[in-house]
Structure 1
């Protein structure tokens, strides 16, 4: 998994989220926690990265949305403090693992 970049993976059994986001300005490993909320506009996951000193900080979230035909899809929004990233999540190319999703920027 360490060779992959720009991915999100959610463990079906534990609901734990891990991933990596990389651009020319940053390359960070991320983790996520499910969000329990009755607000339909709330994210389904909070995303966390680490500071250069190793401190865990919240950097964004993942939202579950409906497409025009009623199917579910996920969007991601991250603010690293010096760069923002908005993206959809989709199937990771060349992988058979359904829990592995590619980060597809749309900025």
Structure 2
């Protein structure tokens, strides 16, 4: 779901983000100058109520596993937000970006699973899940720590 845009105007990357509960009418991207290969590519800045630019996020370069397309991924975060807002930014022809809300691949509410890929965009292993299986090779119950009475009907 697209939630904003960044445009390149006079070599300045500025734009906005808006969702049902978040309205950032003026944001900007500032290039990060670093020799560290793990450093972000951009800092995300926003105007605060005093009209000063403050950092509210960072973006790293990422690549689509399916197409190899290069995009930016990171989080928008601020103490005023209930939780970080994961975003992905995709390049457009004018040198700017379309901003999309990005759901983590692994659904944390359920501990992962349901056929989802268990790696995030940056390939860090995810923790959690439902644990080891209690089914043996023939479908029998193993490792459950007790006897199961198969005679008890479901009711």
TM-score of the aligned structures, taking structure 1 as reference length = 0.73
Q: Distance in 1 between matches of 2:21 and 2:62?
A: 28
- Matching residue within 47, 71, 81 for 2:44: 47
- Aligned pair in 2 of structure 1 residues 91, 32: CA closer, same or farther (>3 Å)? closer
Task: Report the Cα offset of residue 51 of structure 1.
Answer: 1.5
Structure of greater relative contact order (alpha carbons < 8 Å, 6+ residues apart): 1
Unaligned runs of 5+ in 1: none
- Aligned pair in 2 of structure 1 residues 38, 66: CA closer, same or farther (>3 Å)? farther
Q: Which moved more, 1:48-57 or 1:97-106?
A: 97-106
The runs of 4+ residues in structure 1 deviating greater than 3 Å are none
SS at match of 1:48: strand
When the two structures are aligned, how many residues end up with a matched partner?
Answer: 97
- Aligned pair in 2 of structure 1 residues 74, 106: CA closer, same or farther (>3 Å)? same
| Superposed CA RMSD | 2.3
Q: Which moved more, 1:71-80 or 1:30-39?
A: 71-80
| Residue 14 (structure 2) pairs with residue 18 (structure 1) | yes
Unaligned runs of 5+ in 2: 104-155
Q: Distance in 1 between matches of 2:50 and 2:21?
A: 18
The residue number in structure 2 matching 1:90 is: 90
The residue number in structure 1 matching 2:28 is: 31
Higher gyration radius (CA) = 2
The residue number in structure 1 matching 2:131 is: none
SS at match of 2:55: strand
The structure whose residues are more often strand, as a share, is 1
Q: Distance in 2 between matches of 1:10 and 1:63?
A: 18
SS at match of 1:6: strand
